[in-house]
């Protein structure tokens, strides 16, 4: 990969991360290092996005009766879910469902 492709990958991972609900508004140095680690491990953007969406749906769809979770403070939070997605890849049609579900759940949280 070229330096430009490396930078595009890192920018894409960080953009996906920062656009999620309950994540920081800016990437930290540790977030950048985590994104670089994913790149070094050869984790595809599709896998990263799948893990981000799956974890987000799980968090956003939690029962309101349960205690609230603290905000996500690090991209590394998603590493276990990335491992899960690597072991059990998410079908493309389910990925589309997760995208819509996150959108609906995020919109619902903003209205409350």
Question: In the chain, what percentage of residues exceed pLDDT 90?
Answer: 74
Q: Who's near 109: CB < 8 A, 6+ residues apart? A: 21, 60
Distance from C-alpha of 59 to C-alpha of 21, rounded to nearest angstrom: 9
Average pLDDT on 49-69 reads: 93
For residue 90, give Cα distances in angstroms to 12, 22, 27, 34, 71: 19, 23, 26, 22, 25
Averaged pLDDT of the chain:
91
pLDDT digits (tens, 9 = 90+) for 60-108: 999 889 998 898 999 999 999 999 999 999 998 898 999 999 999 888 5
For residue 41, give Cα distances in angstroms to 36, 52, 55, 82, 86: 9, 17, 20, 12, 12
Residue 64, pLDDT score: 87
109 pLDDT band (50/70/90 cuts)? Answer: low
Among 66, 56, 38, 39, CA closest to 103: 56
Residue 12, pLDDT score: 97
């Amino acid at each position: 990969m070229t330096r430009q492709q490396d930078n595009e990958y890192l920018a894409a991972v960080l953009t996906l991360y920062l656009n999620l609900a309950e994540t920081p508004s800016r990437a930290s140095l540790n977030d950048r290092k985590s994104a670089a680690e994913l790149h070094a491990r050869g984790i595809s953007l599709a896998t990263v996005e799948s893990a981000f969406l799956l974890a987000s749906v799980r968090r956003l769809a939690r029962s309101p009766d349960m205690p609230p979770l603290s905000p996500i403070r690090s991209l590394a939070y998603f590493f276990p879910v990335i491992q899960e997605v690597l072991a059990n890849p998410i079908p493309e049609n389910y990925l589309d469902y997760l995208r819509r579900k996150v959108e609906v759940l995020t919109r619902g949280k903003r209205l409350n």
